[in-house]
Amino acid sequence: VQEDPPDFDAALGPVAWNADFAVRWQAADTPEGAVPGRVVRSDHGRCLVATARGPLHLHTAPSRREPSVGDWVIVDPTGTYAFDILDRRSALVRTASGRPTHVLAANVDVVGIAVGIDRPFNARRLERLLLLAWESGAEPCVVLSKTDLVEGATLRERKVEVETIAAGVAVLAVSTVTGQGLRELRDLFGGGKTAVLVGESGAGKSSLVNALVGEDVQGVQEVRHSDAKGRHTTTSRELFPLGNGGVIIDTPGIRTVAVLAGEDAVNATFPDIEELAATCRYGDCAHAEEPGCAVRGAAAAGDLDQARLDSFLGLRAEMAQETKRREPRGRPKGRRPGPRSSKSSQRAKWRTYED
């Protein structure tokens, strides 16, 4: 008798399994008896994986790529190994000059950038996080947190300030103390979606996770009184079911992030400038010295913030240069691009970014 293909929908629904992953599963080369599982936590060759049989602590198959939180993996029939990774829908990738790329979270639909209203707002930092989000293939939103700490007028002012930078992106004002905005956030993150929270230490990411999950699943710690700096309470990335079909990934605090993004992501981050650029005299206007440049014109007229334009031009140049630098230049086929640093030294380097 031919067995029906296993139906994972019911068992894996809570960790946001959907038709798209079912297609990827069908297309994958899977051994007899293998099952799909979602990486809840990944740690040095081992990972915690949610499967139809419950949570499993698995080894990463040696010689395979290390899975990241949010990945769907093929679990071997004995339930010992996470054997391979299903093709990703999206990935949040951190990178830096001369370093290998590093996947922060995989198969993410929404990136919530937490911005604490209790500290000075850094527009340039938000731009980089937006760039990271757009490049991932997910949809960004800004979560303006701790609104209970300011007056209504200040909140409105700050929200406008953030909306100007996060052009075209939803900005949600939330508080885990008053509950403001939590329902909207839950709706935005729910319905089978995978959301990830990123942002500075102390911005309130884990507090939001606890509020949305409805249980204290993550530790939180008070920020420093002098300057509202966080204490790096969360030290690893972890995925939690929201109970509404969606999942949320909590991450350790990051100040800024090194990101390699294409032109599309840069334009998505600066849609106001892209719109202006459409009316420049030359189609390939670099917004430098060209006559009839609508972008520089807008800046001169005070309609576009000069600092924002400088930031756009700077990021665009940086991304173009870094992309070019990474292009393989006639490397002999079949040869590795040089010795690779050991995993532990890579980790040590990455850690320097999480502060």
Ligand X SMILES: Nc1nc2c(ncn2[C@@H]2O[C@H](COP(=O)(O)OP(=O)(O)OP(=O)(O)O)[C@@H](O)[C@H]2O)c(=O)[nH]1
Q: How far is the CB of 196 from ligand X (least distance, A)?
A: 13
Which among 137, 136, 7, 8 has a CA at the least distance from the CA of 72?
8
Q: Choose the stretch contacting Zn ion; rule: CB under 5 A; options: 46-54, 130-138, 277-285, 324-332.
A: 277-285
316 binding Zn ion? (CB under 5 A) = no
293 binding Zn ion? (CB under 5 A) = yes
3-state helix, strand, coil in the chain (%, to 5): 30, 20, 50
Chain centre to alpha carbon of residue 347: 19
Q: How far is the CB of 233 from Mg ion (least distance, A)?
A: 5
Chain centre to alpha carbon of residue 275: 25
Which does residue 221 touch among ligand X, Mg ion, Zn ion, none (CB within 5 to 8 A, set by kind)?
Answer: ligand X
Q: How far is the CB of 171 from ligand X (least distance, A)?
A: 15
147 touches 173 (CB < 8 A): yes
234 binding Mg ion? (CB under 5 A) = yes
150 touches 177 (CB < 8 A): no
Please name the residue that has the structure tokens 């979560």: 143
By beta-carbon proximity to Zn ion, the closer residue of 214 and 271 is 271
Which among 140, 146, 96 has a CA at the least distance from the CA of 121?
146
Integer Cα distance of 143 and 248 in angstroms: 14
Count of CB atoms situated within 10 Å of the CB of 348: 11
311 binding Mg ion? (CB under 5 A) = no
- Give the one residue of 67, 70, 190, 204 binding ligand X; rule: CB under 6 A: 204
Structure tokens at 304: 């576009």
Count of CB atoms situated within 10 Å of the CB of 305: 15
By beta-carbon proximity to ligand X, the closer residue of 212 and 285 is 212
By beta-carbon proximity to ligand X, the closer residue of 190 and 252 is 252
Which among 136, 22, 40 has a CA at the least distance from the CA of 89?
136
Q: Choose the stretch contacting ligand X; rule: CB under 6 A; options: 129-137, 170-178, 276-284, 339-347.
A: 170-178
Q: How far is the CB of 234 from ligand X (least distance, A)?
A: 3
Which among 199, 225, 224 has a CA at the least distance from the CA of 145?
199
By beta-carbon proximity to Mg ion, the closer residue of 221 and 341 is 221
93 binding Zn ion? (CB under 5 A) = no
Indicate the SS3 state at residue 130: helix
- Give the one residue of 30, 136, 175, 194 binding ligand X; rule: CB under 6 A: 175
By beta-carbon proximity to ligand X, the closer residue of 177 and 348 is 177
Size of the site for ligand X (CB under 6 A): 25
253 touches 228 (CB < 8 A): no
Please name the residue that has the structure tokens 């830096």: 96
278 binding ligand X? (CB under 6 A) = no
> Which is it for strands 54-60 and 46-51: parallel, antiparallel or unpaired?
antiparallel
104 binding ligand X? (CB under 6 A) = no
202 binding ligand X? (CB under 6 A) = yes
Residues near Zn ion, by CB under 5 A = 280, 285, 287, 293, 295
Residues near ligand X, by CB under 6 A = 145-146, 148-149, 175-177, 201-207, 220-223, 230-234, 252-253
Residues near Mg ion, by CB under 5 A = 205-206, 233-234
